[in-house]
């Protein structure tokens, strides 16, 4: 049995989305400040837009990379301030960079359009012109390729250290359990692409 030292670490900054009726507290591994600091995202972008896309990206891509058991363990330890040393390494060095790139991928559409109670509007200003859909697709593909590269690092690290992370190979059972992805193809980690070459950075063999 591997002994892990429990520790409280101030360097993990988490966000607890305030629960509303019938909604539980959401623990996120990065916040808007982290995303702005480690990306080209403008500092003036509304944090509300960023936080919502971080939550989406964490559910859609990080959860499948880790599997349900390990994912829940990490969230529980971060929430209680008892993150183990090995889990701290996993979060800081591998999960956070990957989540940042997937969050950028998910945020692009919401930065280009504004959803109001009347319509969906394309944002523009007096000094800039919004990109077209072809340019939008190129940028999204670039972010997705970067996210896949970092996702590949997550998978490789966990596969090489399975004895340190036993929950990675034992994700649990049940209809709502997600088994971890064991593939790390650049640009496609955490998602399913039925056709090779659909996204830039898809380096899967034929």
- The reply to whether 197 falls in a domain is no
Residues 47-68 as b or e (16 or more Cβ within 10 Å = b): eeebbbbbbbbbeebbbbbbbb
Asked if residues 103 and 33 have their Cβ atoms less than 8 Å apart, the reply is no
Integer CA distances (angstroms), 88 to 6, 76, 165, in order: 10, 13, 12
- The reply to whether 191 falls in a domain is no
Task: Give the phi and the psi of residue 33 in degrees, each rounded to 5.
Answer: -65, -40
| Least confident piece of the model among 23-32, 63-72, 90-99, 145-154 | 23-32
Give which of 4, 27, 23 is closest to 89, Cα–Cα.
Answer: 4
Q: What is the pLDDT of residues 131-180, one digit of tens each?
A: 677 887 888 888 899 999 999 999 999 999 999 999 999 888 888 899 88
Q: Residues 6 or more apart from 87 whose CB is under 8 A from it? A: 4, 73, 74, 77
Domain count, the chain: 1
Asked if residues 109 and 102 have their Cβ atoms less than 8 Å apart, the reply is no
Confidence of residue 194 (pLDDT cuts 50, 70, 90): very low
- The reply to whether 127 falls in a domain is yes
pLDDT at 97 over 70: yes
- The reply to whether 202 falls in a domain is no
- The reply to whether 121 falls in a domain is yes
- In the prediction, which pLDDT does 122 show? 53
- In the prediction, which pLDDT does 50 show? 85
Give which of 163, 160, 164, 166 is closest to 184, Cα–Cα.
Answer: 160
- The reply to whether 186 falls in a domain is no
pLDDT at 95 over 80: yes
- The reply to whether 62 falls in a domain is yes
- The reply to whether 116 falls in a domain is yes
pLDDT at 113 over 70: no
Give which of 141, 182, 178, 194 is closest to 67, Cα–Cα.
Answer: 178
- Residue span of the structural domain in which 120 resides: 15-168
Quote the percentage of the chain above a pLDDT of 70.
66
- In the prediction, which pLDDT does 131 show? 67
């Amino acid at each position: 049995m591997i002994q892990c030292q429990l520790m409280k670490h101030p360097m993990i900054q988490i966000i607890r989305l305030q629960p509303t009726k019938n909604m539980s507290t959401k623990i996120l591994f990065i916040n808007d400040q982290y995303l702005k600091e480690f990306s080209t995202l403008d500092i003036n972008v509304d944090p509300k837009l960023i936080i919502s896309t971080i939550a989406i990206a964490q559910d859609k891509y990080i959860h499948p990379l880790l599997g349900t058991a390990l994912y829940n363990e990490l969230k529980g330890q971060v929430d209680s301030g008892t993150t183990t040393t090995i889990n701290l390494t996993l979060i800081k060095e591998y999960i956070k960079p990957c989540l940042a790139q997937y969050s950028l991928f998910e945020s692009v559409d919401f930065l280009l359009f504004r959803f109001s109670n009347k319509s969906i509007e394309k944002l523009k200003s007096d000094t800039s012109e919004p990109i077209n859909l072809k340019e939008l697709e190129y940028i999204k593909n670039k972010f997705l390729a970067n996210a896949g590269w970092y996702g590949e690092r997550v998978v490789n690290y966990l596969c090489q250290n399975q004895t340190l992370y036993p929950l990675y190979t034992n994700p649990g059972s049940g209809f709502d359990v997600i088994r971890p992805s064991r593939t790390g193809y650049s640009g496609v980690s955490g998602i399913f692409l039925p056709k090779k070459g659909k996204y830039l950075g898809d380096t899967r063999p034929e």
